[in-house]
Amino acid sequence: MLYLPPEQAKPVRIQGAFVGDKEVADLTSFLKNQGVNPQYTDEVTTMAKAGTVSVPGVSGNVDELFKDAVKVVCQYDRASASLLQRRLSIGYARAARIVDQLEGAGVIAPSDGGSKAREVLVQNADEFLASFGNPPAQ
């Protein structure tokens, strides 16, 4: 597996143990049968009820066009504010903010300091979006 820490420009190869669906189901059933009441984090349950989405690596809520931006950069296999401006019909400030959110979420690589388009690290937009939930359509 490749892991991209926020502070690094290139992914690191790591290895993790595979946990199958049956094992997860068995563990979940075991924990439920212990008779302990769950202790929920209020912030998480409030966000779930409100329909807001939090993307790992991105502070605050993501832009409502985040989902579309992920699909655009995966389709064109490059990412830049100007690409998002053209494809999503938005201004530069909003496009640049979405690029920052894409970087924070690990969708695109950090800038190399130049003006070249950024490398896209996610191959399948739908799988990525499913991994944290789709941002709400507004």
pLDDT of residue 135: 46
pLDDT of residue 138: 40
In a domain, 11, yes or no: yes
Interatomic CA distance for residues 137 and 41, integer angstroms: 25
**Between 130 and 119, residue with greater pLDDT:** 119
pLDDT of residue 37: 84
pLDDT of residue 83: 94
Q: pLDDT of 102-114, one tens digit each?
A: 998 889 999 887 7
Q: pLDDT of 7-57, one tens digit each?
A: 778 888 888 888 899 999 999 899 889 988 888 777 766 665 555 555 555
In a domain, 89, yes or no: yes
What CATH number is attached to the domain comprising 117? 1.10.10.10
Alpha helices in 1-138 (DSSP H): 21-32, 42-50, 66-76, 81-88, 92-104, 125-132
pLDDT of residue 94: 92
In a domain, 102, yes or no: yes
Closest-CA residue to 82 (of 95, 94, 71, 93): 95
pLDDT of residue 134: 47
In a domain, 137, yes or no: no
Tell me if 103 sits within 8 A of 55, measured CB to CB.
no
pLDDT of residue 137: 44
Tell me if 79 sits within 8 A of 68, measured CB to CB.
no
In a domain, 138, yes or no: no
- 61 burial type by CB count under 10 A (0-12 exposed, 13-18 middle, 19+ buried): middle
Count up the domains in the chain and report the number: 1
Domain span holding position 35? 2-132
In a domain, 46, yes or no: yes
- What's the one-letter identity of residue 65? L
pLDDT of residue 55: 59
pLDDT of residue 96: 92
pLDDT of residue 127: 86
Q: pLDDT of 51-96, one tens digit each?
A: 555 555 565 678 889 999 999 999 999 999 999 999 999 999 999 9
Q: What is the dihedral of CA 30, 34, 39, 40, to 10 degrees?
A: 30
Closest-CA residue to 80 (of 94, 95, 66, 62): 95
